[in-house]
Structures are given as C-alpha cells and as structure tokens.
C-alpha cells in the first residue's frame, strides 16, 4: 500500500507511462497478497482483507482518475480528486493495517512464549520417552531424533520470524521501541564491562504535523519511510530505530 502511494506521489512530480505500469503492477501484487492472507489467515484476517480490498479498489480507480487529470494538466481537478477521494481512502487503509499490525505483534509475543514452552517440553519429554521401552530403543531413538530435529528447526524458524515481527516498525523498516530498549540495555552493559564508549543519537523530525495537515498523512508517511531508508543506507550504525511518531534513534557503540 505504501509503495503504491509512493508511485502516486511521484506521478504528481513527473508523470510517465512507466509509473502507470508500475502502479498497475503493484495493484495486481496487492490483490495477490490479499488472496494469500485470506487463504492463510484466520477469520479476523479475512474480514480485514475484505474491507481493505474494497477500499483499495476504490483507491485504485480514484488514483487512475487523478492520473488522467494530471495528464490533461488540469491542476484544479487533480487537487480536488487528491484531497476528496485519494487521501480519504488512503488513511483508512493505513489505519486498518496499523491496527492489524499491533494485534499481530501481541499474538507474536504470545506465540513466542508458547513455542518456548513446547520446546522445553520436547527437551524434557524426549529422554523420558526413551526410557519407556528398551526393546524399541534403537528404532525409537532414530525416529525421535529425526522428528525432534524437524520440530526444533520449525520452532526456531518460527521464533526468528515472530521475533522479527515483534521488533520491527512496519512503516520505516527500522527497529521499534521494544528493539531499542533491548539493544540499548545490552550495549550499555557491554560498554561498562569493556570500558568502551557508547553514544546515542536521538532524531526528531521538525514540522511533521504541519506537513500532515498541509499535504496529508500520505506525504508524512513517505517522509518517515524515506528517513528510515536513508538511515539504513548510510550505515552509520547497525542499530537504528523509529521510537514513535517522528522520533528516531541511533545507537553508536565504540564511537569516539
């Protein structure tokens, strides 16, 4: 959704047939994603997807109408469509996605706890099961080891995925406030133990509220996303975070 909105913004600046093709391609990909989420998800996910799909198709039609106005050079009609149709449809989509993201983050924490309990049960239960029958020990050991490795690998893969979801800010792609707290505590302890320096850079975007009010939340989200991409690309530190709203942070270990 954010990629589609970015393409729409670029079309205002420099319209081209390539951007129209990209916009159609992103729309097709988004429909595929909706279908996959409906297939894999639960009832609440399917309900959210149905609502998003309806809004997104209206958004797609409104954007194409706006593109036509841009191609004609009709700035008045372009601005009217953008403010009365495009932006009002984008906001509900992002709000629903954000709400679903927060809900899934909570579920991810709960799933992590459950997976850890299951893994502990496997580790404790496997030796006990070995002692039930000495006659089948050989066969049972080989079989159980095979399935144990598969279970542990599957659990580990799921833990990695869920941990990443819990610690990532979906808009900027940076670490979130939870990741910041964990990494900061670890780096402070390491710096104290090793007698090294540790710096912290806190960044706050000026006038973001004014930009949201003047140009819409789409433009504000684009700026936040762009800053996230910049912080990753310049590689000042592997530790970069969006704490909340317009607040960002960089942890700079071993920096004089």
Taking only the tens of pLDDT, the chain with its 256 residues reads 888 888 888 888 888 899 888 888 988 888 888 888 888 888 888 888 888 888 888 888 988 999 899 999 998 999 999 899 888 888 888 888 888 888 888 888 888 888 888 888 888 877 777 777 667 777 767 777 777 888 888 778 878 777 777 888 888 889 999 999 999 999 999 999 999 999 999 999 889 889 888 988 889 899 999 999 999 898 888 899 999 889 999 999 988 7
- Model pLDDT, residue 111: 86
Distance of CA 64 to the CA centre of its chain: 27
With vertex at residue 60, the alpha carbon angle to CA 56 and CA 66, rounded to the nearest 5 degrees, is 140
Which pTM value belongs to this model? 0.46
Distance (Å, whole) CA 174 – CA 69: 36
Name the DSSP letter for residue 200.
E
Answer for the pair 249, 26: CB distance below 8 angstroms, yes or no. no
With vertex at residue 6, the alpha carbon angle to CA 24 and CA 211, rounded to the nearest 5 degrees, is 150
247 HSE (CA, 13 A, CB side): 7
How many C-beta atoms lie closer than 10 Å to residue 197's C-beta?
11
Q: Which phi and psi (to 5°) does residue 211 adopt?
A: -65, -45
- Model pLDDT, residue 134: 67
How many C-beta atoms lie closer than 10 Å to residue 86's C-beta?
20
With vertex at residue 198, the alpha carbon angle to CA 196 and CA 204, rounded to the nearest 5 degrees, is 175
- Model pLDDT, residue 125: 76
Closest CA to 45 of 56, 54, 36: 36
17 HSE (CA, 13 A, CB side): 0
With vertex at residue 134, the alpha carbon angle to CA 130 and CA 139, rounded to the nearest 5 degrees, is 70
Distance (Å, whole) CA 256 – CA 249: 18
């Amino acid at each position: 959704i954010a990629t589609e909105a970015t393409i729409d913004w670029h079309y205002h600046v420099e319209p081209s047939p390539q951007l129209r093709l990209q916009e159609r391609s992103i729309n097709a990909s988004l429909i595929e994603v909706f279908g996959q989420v409906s297939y894999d998800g639960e009832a609440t996910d399917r309900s959210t997807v149905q609502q998003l799909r309806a809004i997104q198709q209206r958004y797609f039609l409104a954007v194409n109408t706006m593109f036509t106005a841009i191609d004609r050079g009709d700035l008045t009609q372009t601005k009217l469509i953008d403010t009365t149709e495009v932006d009002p449809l984008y906001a509900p989509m992002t709000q629903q996605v954000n709400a679903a993201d927060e809900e899934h983050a909570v579920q991810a924490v709960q799933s992590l706890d459950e997976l850890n309990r299951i893994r502990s049960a496997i580790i404790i239960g496997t030796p006990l099961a070995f002692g039930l029958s000495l006659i089948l020990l050989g066969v049972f050991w080989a079989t159980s080891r095979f399935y144990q490795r598969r279970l542990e690998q599957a659990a580990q893969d799921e833990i990695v995925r869920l941990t990443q979801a819990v610690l990532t800010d979906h808009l900027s792609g940076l670490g979130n406030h939870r990741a910041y707290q964990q990494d900061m505590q670890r780096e402070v302890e390491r710096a104290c133990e090793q007698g090294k320096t540790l710096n912290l850079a806190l960044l706050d975007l000026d006038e973001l509220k004014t930009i949201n009010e003047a140009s819409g939340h789409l433009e504000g989200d684009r700026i936040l996303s762009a800053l996230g991409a910049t912080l990753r690309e310049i590689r000042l530190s592997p530790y970069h975070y969006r704490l909340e709203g317009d607040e960002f942070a960089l942890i700079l270990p071993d920096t004089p």
